[in-house]
Chains A and B, each alone.
Chain A
């Protein structure tokens, strides 16, 4: 993007803000300048510059009585003449799209509280947006299962109660009991997660809701410690870290879906029938189960320990059948 485009963008932003500033202030006579600035996401200095500029704008004639006028009372401001820009601009298509799609998604979250309020809000925004939202060709459906469990978890988040969880950890193939301090429920990539401070591991964890086998809301309050920070899940929930073992597999065509399902560090298309794929595994035992499950379409290239583990495990598994029915 060229410098001039950037400049004109930010200029357009200011123009839009100025046109909406008059009705904004009109609706809030005597508002603190600092409060208005914070609300509009600009500095106090910027807002004062905006007000100064508006002060010299107005109706043709541009005499006293034509210009936008305002009264200052200490740090408070009141619009006393609006020169006809007493309403904000209509929503643009992008604005309507952004608000409507996000509301539709929110309304679709299974077990969401206040769904009825979300739907009322959606209807009002769609109607206010008019043409900008008419016939929006976007439909949304979230994962449908587990609505009751989700409602339970959200309730605990809102009531700020600790939870006792029975949780299946897929990477270690074990079910454990733990007490957690719920922080929020996140829905990302088709799954719902409870984000909570886990008192057992003393860290923030994302618990996939369909792997919570049971949960009991405790009387005691949820108190995540100050160091409990929410994960940024915008780029996916599992973020491969350099410390995790790197697993390299050679895969056939019908196992290629794993490159779409798991974050892969490297994919080399050696030939149509063989791709070389590297990914981080949180645990080599998990990698062994995954590779065995993928079957003959996949062979392990590295690490050597995994090559051996898969070979031994497959051999023993087959032998277990042989033992029971000798042929």
Chain B
């Protein structure tokens, strides 16, 4: 933007802030330097109109609330003004510890676009007289970042506009198009989700933002739906993730000095001639077996029977699968697999 244009726009803002009356385009031309032209010449007038449209768009992009209206019922041409109460950031009085928190929060963003927004927001607070200590620290720094789908879904939830996006979980063979009335976006245990009403499933669903493939598109008009009142967005994502209960106890035989990852959960360790007897609590036998099998021959489940049987079954499946793979290496990739895909690596 040229210096002239910047100057013209600053003057336009000052002019429209200072007026209570709506000023028509003609009145603005007569007042603000930089809009002079011969209104009788259609070409010049058209050039002015384009320039004025661009300037208005620029101000709106910046968040300047340009009001449109007419000064009286006899006016036919629309006029413009800026209401001070809509323009100005209200007074903000922050205590030093609050200021420190805002300063820290503003530099946590790892997402380029929102990092820039946080910085410019902070500048406005500074302009409001808040002195931000940029070196303040709380000794803790959450990494604040979002997935690419975040801005579109957040805006759609806010505008209550229906969205469509392609979605693929690792277990799916292809992405599926989902239609959603988004209620909000949730960060839970380091991942972002969108929660809303799934129009195809006709039920509340949540989707992990990292699994959205490509762009999110909006469908229809804003204000198309209402999210249920008092929706606790987090509860829709977190309801499967409560604390895991460990009501059962197993006794394991652990080789001396091995399987530290098992020992650190031990409730009891009794050394013996053939290894340490370790008592540990667990939730259910199959998940427990999967965990124990990772430690191979270092850990043997002695009791109870269900955990022991589940572990043996898991090991047997594993050995069978390995024997099968070793006996028929050429069929491992399946009949349709590209031959030699593995050898390129």
Give the B-binding residues of A (Cβ under 8 A): 7-8, 10-21, 23-24, 27-28, 39-41, 53-54, 56-60, 62, 83-85, 87-99, 101-103, 105-106, 108-109, 112-114, 117-118, 120-122, 124-125, 127-128, 130, 135-143, 150, 154-155, 157-158, 168, 170, 173-175, 184-191, 213, 233-234, 246, 248, 250, 253-254, 256-257, 259-260, 266, 268, 270-274, 276, 278, 288-290, 292-293, 295-296, 299, 301-302, 310-311, 313-321, 324
Contact = CB atoms under 8 A, between A and B. Distances in A.
Contact of A310 (B10, B99, B186, B322): B322
12 contacts: A8-B58, A59-B14, A87-B87, A88-B124, A95-B124, A106-B104, A157-B139, A173-B261, A185-B140, A271-B333, A301-B345, A317-B293
A57 B10 contact: yes
A121 B101 contact: yes
B35 interface: no
A250 B342 contact: yes
A256 B171 contact: yes
Given A98-B109, A121-B102, A84 B189 contact: no
Contacts of A248: 342, 345
A85 B128 CA distance: 12
Contacts of A253: 171
A313 B296 contact: yes
A292 to B, nearest CB: 5
A124 to B, nearest CB: 6
B261 A168 contact: yes
B120 A316 contact: no
Contacts of A259: 170
Contacts of A314: 296, 315, 318-319, 322
Given A41-B119, A289-B294, A274 B315 contact: no
A120 B293 CA distance: 50
A87 B65 CA distance: 14
By DSSP majority rule, is chain B's interface helix, strand, loop, or mixed?
Answer: helix
A112 to B, nearest CB: 6
A191 B142 CA distance: 10
B296 A15 contact: no
Given A105-B187, A190-B191, 14 more contacts: A23-B127, A28-B129, A39-B126, A60-B32, A83-B18, A88-B123, A88-B127, A109-B140, A120-B95, A120-B98, A168-B264, A246-B345, A271-B334, A314-B296
B106 A99 contact: yes
Interface stretch (B37-45, B70-78, B110-118, B276-284): B110-118
A270 B334 contact: yes
A318 B5 CA distance: 79
Contact of B234 (A141, A157, A310, A316): A141
- The 6 tightest CB contacts between A and B, nearest first, are A11-B1, A190-B190, A293-B294, A95-B121, A137-B184, A87-B88
Nearest to B315: A318
A130 B121 contact: no
B183 interface: yes
Contacts of A114: 97, 100-101, 138
A158 B139 contact: yes
A34 to B, nearest CB: 15
A321 B15 contact: no
B108 interface: yes
Contact of B3 (A53, A87, A173): A53
A101 B173 CA distance: 34
A106 B322 contact: no
A290 B275 CA distance: 23
Nearest to B302: A324
B192 to A, nearest CB: 9
A85 B13 contact: yes
B175 interface: no
B106 A58 contact: no
A321 B315 contact: yes
Nearest to B108: A102
B217 interface: no
B323 to A, nearest CB: 9
B88 A90 contact: yes
Q: Which of B10, B90, B321 has the most CB of A within 10 A?
A: B10
A234 B187 contact: no
A157 B137 CA distance: 10
Q: Which of B100, B119, B261 has the most CB of A within 10 A?
A: B261
